[in-house]
Amino acid sequence: MKLRISNIQFVKIEKLKSIPNNLNTSYIFEKMKINFLNKKVIKIIISIILIAISYGFIIYKLIKFDEFKELSLKDFYQLGRSYIYLIIAILLMPINWSIETIKWQSLIKNIQIISFSRALKAVFSGISLGIFTPNRIGEIGGRIFYLNKGKRTFGLLATSLGSFSQLLTTIIAGLVGFAMLLIFFPDKTNINPIFDGLFLIVILIFLLILIYLYFNAKLLNPIFLKFSFFKKRQDQLKYFSNTKNSLLLKILFISMVRYLIFITQFYLLLAFLNIQISFLQAFISISLLYLFSTIIPTTTLLELGIKGSLAIFFIGLFSNDLLHIVLTTMTLWLINLVIPSIIGSIFFIKKILIK
């Protein structure tokens, strides 16, 4: 056995000797350069494929959106002055994602300090990668790509914490909306009042558990450590678990501000399409729409269809204009996801090419 090993080593040495001495360094350098270029080409190809899938998904959803067939130019002409609502809803999009950028910056400031413009590019790149992945989980990968190596696990955990705070906000608003529905519009729920009460209690208990875990993330460590990925990164996990409550409260507040923007955008688009409901009715129906779309497990391919169906059900409690209700959901999807996704794809491709 020893003889075999020494023979192999001898052959390797002979191969190296077969290369002229003055070429040894340049030969190794050239080999390294080729490997580096190959990796770079592979990264660029993967990036192009991911962006192509994003655009393909958007085009597919637009082609398959049958409600467009029922529209005519006359429908848009009749909207008249209400276009101001559409313009305001569009202008709220960059404000919405800028606030999300501030939230992400706050979460990673102790990990790596990056400029607002760089953080904004990371957020938009995340949208571009996340639009076709289940529950938009690809957003995390798009964001942490802008962090230095060695900081990306921290970034992954920090981004997940931000998503968790947005989930809490959605559930809190949904509970408030459901309570308002029972109080102000009891005739709209054709279900047994006992069932309504039980459902409210179950969601409330679930919310309290999530809030407790949000402020006591270290309790989740045993679950994380079951995965080999986190076993090798216990320092990062410990840092994540010790996030200060003051920061957690700040992140939760920012998530609530973002949620109010979502609600406002949705209401403006309802007004744009002449769906006549009050802001209270809109808040109730939209908060329940977001609550149930969050609870129902889905992929992004089904997300728009599910939200459209939920919009018909909940907003349909106060309006019979089903076509425009679905169009509202589609328009909001275009404003908040498709436009940022296109912008993010440009940032992402530039980042790959520069790197």
pLDDT tens by residue, 142-155 = 898 899 888 888 88
Contact predicate 57/299, CB 8 Å: no
Tell me the mean pLDDT in the region 131-137: 71
For the chain, the C-alpha Rg in angstroms (whole number) is 26
CA distance 75 to 82: 12
Going by C-beta distance under 8 Å and a sequence separation of 6 or more, which residues neighbour residue 110?
none
Degrees, nearest 5: CA angle 260-125-330: 50
Q: For residues 215 and 43, which has the higher predicted lDDT (pLDDT)? A: 215
CA-closest candidate to residue 339, choices 159, 116, 124:
124
Q: For residues 285 and 234, which has the higher predicted lDDT (pLDDT)? A: 285
Report pLDDT for 249: 93
Going by C-beta distance under 8 Å and a sequence separation of 6 or more, which residues neighbour residue 340?
93, 97, 124, 127, 128
CA distance 266 to 287: 10
Percentage, residues of the chain above pLDDT 90: 25
Total length of the chain: 355
Tell me the mean pLDDT in the region 66-72: 53
CA distance 69 to 324: 13
Given a cut of 80, is residue 308 above it in pLDDT? no
Of 44-48, 140-144, 148-152, 222-226, where does mean pLDDT reach its minimum? 44-48
Residue type, 158: A
Report pLDDT for 255: 95
